[in-house]
Amino acid sequence: DGGITQSPKYLFRKEGQNVTLSCEQNLNHDAMYWYRQDPGQGLRLIYYSQIVNDFQKGDIAEGYSVSREKKESFPLTVTSAQKNPTAFYLCASSIGEVPEAFFGQGTRLTVV
């Protein structure tokens, strides 16, 4: 059953700790994306990757880091430098010339 999986669904961390959100896809998609959603706002692009070992900053990359060592995986690390890390995080992937995106279920991160 192909798809894109984010884990965990809910995550709690203490302020000052780094935390890594997982995103895995078995769709053989080339491109992967991380978005952040805050209450009442839309999806804002954090990072995206078009191929393995390459990624680009989105609009709000500060305080985040990513890696793309494998095609299937695009983990997002929320570092202690991110001032307001509590949010809902969505991962997506796409393939093709006109890249329709497929989304994971999201991870809700709460930093206390």
What does the binding site for another protein look like in residue numbers (CB under 8 A)? 31, 33, 35, 41-45, 48, 50, 56, 58-59, 90, 92, 94, 98-106
Helix ranges restricted to H, 8-56? none
92, 102 Cβ separation under 8 angstroms:
yes
Secondary structure element (H or E) that encloses residue 19, with its range: strand 19-25
Rounded-to-integer distance, Cα 60 and Cα 39, Å = 16
Please, are residues 86 and 21 in contact by the beta-carbon 8 Å criterion? Answer: no
Nearest to another protein of 17, 26 (CB atom): 26
Distance in Å, CB of 97 to another protein, minimum = 9
15 or 84: whose CB is closer to another protein? 84
Looking at the Cβ atoms of 11 and 101, the one nearer to another protein is 101
CB of 14 to another protein, least distance (A): 27
